[in-house]
Structure 1
Amino acid sequence: MAEEFPEPAVVRDNRRIDPETGEVRAASPAGEAAPAAPSVGGPDDGAAEADRDAAQSLAAERLDELQRLNAEYANYRKRVDRDRDVARNTALAGVAESLLPVLDDIHLARQHGDLTGPFAAIADKLEATLTRFGLERYGQDGEPFDPAVHEALMHSHSDEYEVATCVTVLQPGYRFADRVLRPARVAVADPQG
């Protein structure tokens, strides 16, 4: 009489790494037996290769998405930084523009010799601070007239000049970065012609 076994023995492989492929196995739900490792050269070789190809395809797709998100975030940061710089420069230009009458009074007092004592030191510090933030005074006698940055208040004709030239700066102009806050008010000598 042959020995009979009531049921065949079940072997469960609980290792997380498949010893044949070296890949991490997916966790099997509780209560389900993990499938036995396929034998080399068996019918499951094609399925394993298809799974590997699908996993590599999914990994490449996820990598592409991650790179796209990183590029999108880098562009967002650049745009935010640029917008922040524009807002900062606009605010500083507004403050500088509101201080132009004060700077005009300081300039006139200095021209007349009335700027002395402790107030001269305060005026110098104010001008130095505004210059450090980017405010620039412009307008010199003898420079060529440029209607984009000069406002002509008087015109005359002269044989001395070959192009329209600022002969007298009546009030200096101010610019902040590339923005003209106030054009220089000048007297212009046009060439005789």
Structure 2
Amino acid sequence: MADAQNNPAPGEGDNSFAGGVGDDLPGGKNTKNVKASEQNAAGENLQQQADEAESASTPDEVAGEASESVEENEHPDTKLAAERLADLQRLQAEYVNYRNRVERDRAREKETTIGSVVESLIPVLDDIELARQHGDLTDGPMSKIASKLETTLDRYGVARFGEAGEAFDPNVHEALMHVEAEAPEGVDGTFVVQVLQPGYKVGERVVRAARVSVAG
């Protein structure tokens, strides 16, 4: 009896045995320690990734570094070819501008030259127009000569203008007299009543304004 009381049964009072088994079982102390260790390691890994992300270069910096690397590694011949291409494009643009300027100057000089000839022929043209109004150019050699002259001038861009009833425009009309007349339908303000002498122009250049009488 004494031996039974002094020597407890296996599993009773032997803490080392029970504790050892419990630690090895699922959910025991060792398992909890492993999970805590894994969580700490994961947290440290996330923190390290965040620090690396903060210290990383921005997209612009990365692009700039890449561009600098490309420029450093660019072959000298490639760089020279790009410079020559830029020079060629600049020369082509300058040539196009020069050609356009020359063409404009040439057209202006042509209009000026033709305008000078027309200006010297205006008295003749006025006589032809006056003779036509009086019926003197209905037939005969003079009528053919007048037609040929006007056809030639038309070919060089010479145009006669000025019509009764149109609105008065000081840029193309010269008012010689003011009369009383009823305005045509659709015309407001001053208008042309009669064309005393027609105007002439070459292209957009007015050689002589139409001389008219006006009303309104």
Letter in 1 for 2:146: A
2:143 matched to 1:117? no
User: Structure 2 unaligned runs (5+)?
Assistant: 1-71
Counterpart secondary structure, 1:99: helix
- Cα distance, 1:52 vs structure 2: 6.8
Counterpart CA distance in 1 for 2:88 and 2:166 is 56
What is the percent sequence identity of the aligned residues? 58
* Deviant stretches of 4+, over 4 Å: none
- What residue is the counterpart of 1:63 in the other structure? 85
Structure 1: give runs of 5+ residues left out of the alignment: 1-49
Q: Give how far 1:51 is off.
A: 9.3
Alignment of 1:161-180 (within 5 A): 161=183, 162-180=188-206
**Secondary structure of the structure 1 residue equivalent to 2:168:** coil
Higher helix share: 2
2:117 maps to a residue whose letter is V
- Considering only CA atoms, is the larger Rg found in Structure 1 or Structure 2? 2
1:146 matched residue in structure 2: 169
Partner secondary structure for residue 179 of structure 2: strand
Change (3 A) 1:52 1:143: closer
Shift of 1:163: 2.2
Q: Find out whether 1:105 has 2:105 as its counterpart.
A: no
Q: CA deviation at 1:157?
A: 3.2
Q: How far apart, in 2, do the equivalents of 1:157 and 1:122 lie?
A: 38
Distance 2:74 2:173 in 1: 73
Partner Cα distance (1:127, 1:58) in 2: 61
Q: Which residue of 1 aligns with 2:3?
A: none
Is 1:185 aligned with 2:211?
Answer: yes
Q: Kindly indicate which of the two structures has a greater share of residues assigned to strand.
A: 1
**Quick check: 2:111–2:205 contact (8 Å CA) kept in 1?**
no
Distance 2:162 2:100 in 1: 36
Distance 1:109 1:54, change over 3 A: same
What CA deviation, in whole Å up to 9, does each residue of 1:16-57 have, x standing for no partner? xxxxxxxxxxxxxxxxxxxxxxxxxxxxxxxxxx89711211
- AA paired with 1:117? G
Residue 135 of structure 1 aligns with an amino acid whose one-letter code is V
Which moved further from structure 2: 75-84 or 51-60? 51-60
Matched residue, 1:3: none
**TM-score for both structures, normalised by structure 1:** 0.67
Amino acid paired to 1:131? D
